[in-house]
Every structure is written in C-alpha cells, then in structure tokens.
Amino acid sequence: MADTIARATPGGRLMHMLASRALSDPSAPAMVIQHREALVYTLGKAAQLEQLVMCQYLYAAFSMKERDDEGLTSEQLDAVRRWRRELIHIAEQEMLHLALVQNLLSAVGAGSSFGRPNFPLPPYAYPAGIKMALLPFSEPALRHFIYLERPEGMDVSDDEAFAALEKAAPLPLADDDEIGARLQEFPTIGALYRAVEVGLDQLAGRLGADRLFIGPRAAQATSADFMFDELRPVTDLASAHAAIDVIVEQGEGARGAWRSAHFGRLVAVLDELDDARDADPSFEPARPVLAALVREREDGLAVPLITDPFANRCSDLLNAVYEVLLQVLSRYFAHTDESAEQLSVLANVAVGLMKSVIRPLGQLVTRLPVGPEHPGRTVGPSLELFYDVDYLLPHRDAAWIVMEERLRDVADLATRCKASCSPIYMPTLNAITNALRYQAEQLAAGR
C-alpha cells in the first residue's frame, strides 16, 4: 500500500506522509507558486519562520531556573535542566532547518535570508493561525509550541491562536498569472513546506530542473562546517525534497513517528510538567521574565521598557551579539571568493558566538530586574534586531572588516557593562567579553 501511495503521490516523503495519514489531500492547493520570484518569496517567509520559532524556544529555555538557590528541590531542578536541554536541542534543530532553507534559496539562485520582524510581531505578518510570541517556560508555552509543530490535520488547540483565527478571514490564494508577491494562507508550517514542494515540482516541470537549480554548489552549507549530519547540499529536485523531508519530519514527524519529532518531544515534556505540578502545585520552573525592550518601538506599539541600568546594557549586548551572529551566517551563505578554510572560520565564529556568548548571556539577563516599574519581574531576552544583517558588500575584504569591527564594538560594549555590574555577575561577564574578543581575533586572522 505504501508503495502504491509513493508512486501515485508527487513530491517527497512529506507528500507520502500526508497521503498515508489521510489527514490532507496532497493534491489540494495550499498556496500558488507561479514563478521563481514567488518561490524565493515563500522560502524567505519560511526562513523567517524558522528563525522566529527558534527564538521562541531560546526565550523559553533561557527563562528556566538553573541554580540551587532558586527554590527548587534537587529532583525538580534535575527535571528543569533536562527540559531546558530538550528545548535547546530543538532550537538547534531549528537552526539546522534555517540552514536548509538557505541551501534551498541558494540552489534556485537567490541570496541568503536572515532578516525578520522583531517581537512582538506586527499585525498580519503571517496568517492568523501562525501566531508567534515570546513566552516563558510554562504549560501555556508548551501548548503553544505543540500547536505550532502539530502535524497537518491533527486537532490540537491553542486558545490564543484560535482567538486570532476567529477575528481574521483566511488569506486568498494568488492567481496563476500574478507577477507580484503576496502572502497567502497556510494553516501550519508543514503546509507551507508542502506548498514549496508543489512549487518546486511544477517549476522544475515547466522550466526544467537544470534551469531551476542554477545556484553554485560552492554556496551550499554542509556538515563539513556545521555540526549537523543532516545538512546536505541542495543541487536538484531530489535533494530539495530531501531537505524539506528533514525539516518537516524533525518538526512534526512522519508515518506515525511523531513521538521522536519536536511535536512528540514537547508533548512528553508537557506530560512531565503536569505530573510535577500534580505532585507539587507550587512548583514554578521558570523565572518571572517579562518580554521587555530597551527602547520604545518606532511603530509606537506600547511595550514594557527595561530601566535597570545593568539589565538595559546587557539586553543591548545580547541583541547586538545575536545580530552579528546572523551577519556572519549571512556572509557564509552569500560568500564570494572565500576559501574552504575561511568558510570554516565563519562557521566556527557563528557556533562560538552561540555557545560561548548568546547562551550564557541569555541565561544571565533572565536573572536581572526589569526595573522598579515592574517589581519582581526579570528581563526576557527579546533577541531584537537593530539593523539589517545582509547589507555587506560582495567584496570579501570589506565584508570581513565590517564583521570584525562590529564584533570589536560589541566586545567594547561588554567591557563598559562592567561599570554597572554586580560582583556576582562579573565572572560570567568577563567570560563573555573574552569570548567576543577571541571571535573577533578569529575573523582578523582568517581574513
């Protein structure tokens, strides 16, 4: 039966999965992708989504308690640390998915896509069912994540998302002869990738695969530079389907294997949290974080502001480092004449910033007070982008000088943070400053 489905259904394993589940009609239109530009636009939306979902997992993970003096029993603390490792691992896989989308973009002749809107997202940034929010680790957060990662056709509720659905009409499909890009409706992240698969198949049939996959193989990221075994080049229709299979199967699961996917792993964490709460109703695994910003938004949207001086500086530092990380990744995927060794430097700097700076800094800011206006609340890392991250010139020397300069500016900011730093946080801040200077030296030496 499975072989019959595979022969009758176009696309990769995602299509076969939907057909085998009978959850959705794989031939039904999800979105209309009429031409290469519409495909690039849709892949850009997918890249934004992968990054936004990753930020949500990081926010929840950074919010979790980790110390012996935070009011948890040893058993509870062990559970919280285990759950945080699970969320961090899922966030890392979202980074893999983001890299695979970049490979897809490169394969069809497009540049990298690492820009995205800041939280809280502007209205109508995505279909109403695709709701994004920065939430501390909690039962509502887990249910929200489970809703986002749900397999197509599975009835999983998210109260906030469904409230938005009731207020918003579905977005219309594009016409086959439209020349401009337009956001279309997709109820799940899996449905977005299903539309990409259909679009790839149709464009390859119309243009020819050789004409569709025109990007240079050298622009493809692989496991040679990053830690992901599943990160493989996209050079043709089969490898494009394989990349989408990895993204969807790790997120929602395939052919009944959802328990090992993000969806199933989150369900398991939620079950454990419910059991822990039943045993101790006072159990609180997260710090009292508040999604606050350093400065008012340009669009006038009211948001809580961080007024504590040290917390304010550390939040700016975290956001600036995250921005440099994206800039380095953008250069990696849109490089010109970098050697294999230089590409390895870019990859190592990106991974080093994530592990030795962003992770400890994210866990630090959630211990810091927002300010007297919000007593008892600590800072939730907004991961806000100040500037575009893909503005670098194609010329290698100029691009590397700008990245190194920005890293040194950020390291100087970390040094200035010490002026208002409590002694209890100084060891962490010193390690972060040293890591920033080390990564700047790596860029300088690699150029």
Structure token pair of residue 37: 């530009």
DSSP one-letter string for 71-134: S--HHHHHHHHHHHHHHHHHHHHHHHHHHHHHHHHHHTT-------PPSSPPTTSS-TTS----
What domains, with CATH codes, occur in the chain?
1-287 (1.20.1260.10), 288-447 (1.20.1260)
Are 389 and 323 in contact by the 8 Å Cβ rule? The answer is yes
Q: What is the pLDDT of residue 12?
A: 54
Provide φ and ψ at 361, rounded to 5°: -70, -40
pTM: 0.86
Q: Give the amino acid at 57.
A: Y
What residues does 378 pair with on adjacent strands?
289, 369
pLDDT value of residue 18: 41
pLDDT of residue 97: 96
Phi, psi of 105 (to 5 degrees): -60, -50
CA 206 to centroid of chain Cα atoms:
32
Give the single-character DSSP code of 422. Answer: -
Helices (H) and strands (E) in the chain, counts: 15, 2
pLDDT per residue rounded down to tens, the chain (447 residues): 344 334 344 555 444 544 444 444 444 546 778 889 989 999 999 999 999 999 999 999 999 999 999 999 999 999 999 999 999 999 999 999 999 999 999 999 999 999 999 998 876 667 666 778 899 999 999 998 988 888 766 555 444 433 333 333 444 455 555 555 555 556 778 888 988 999 999 999 999 999 999 999 988 999 999 989 999 999 999 999 999 999 988 987 654 567 788 988 999 999 999 999 999 999 999 999 999 999 998 888 889 999 999 999 999 999 999 999 999 999 999 999 999 999 999 999 999 999 999 999 999 999 999 999 999 999 999 999 988 888 888 999 999 999 999 999 999 999 999 999 999 999 999 999 999 999 999 999 999
Look at residue 30 in the predicted model and tell me its pLDDT. Answer: 61
Q: Which long-range contacts (CB under 8 A, 24 or more apart) does 408-412 make?
A: 408/437, 408/440, 409/320, 410/317, 410/320, 410/321, 410/324, 410/436, 411/436, 411/437, 411/440
Q: Are 185 and 171 in contact (CB under 8 A)?
A: yes
Q: Which pLDDT does position 166 carry in this prediction?
A: 39
The pLDDT of residue 128 is 61
Closest by CA to 327, choosing from 338, 335, 337, 317, is: 335
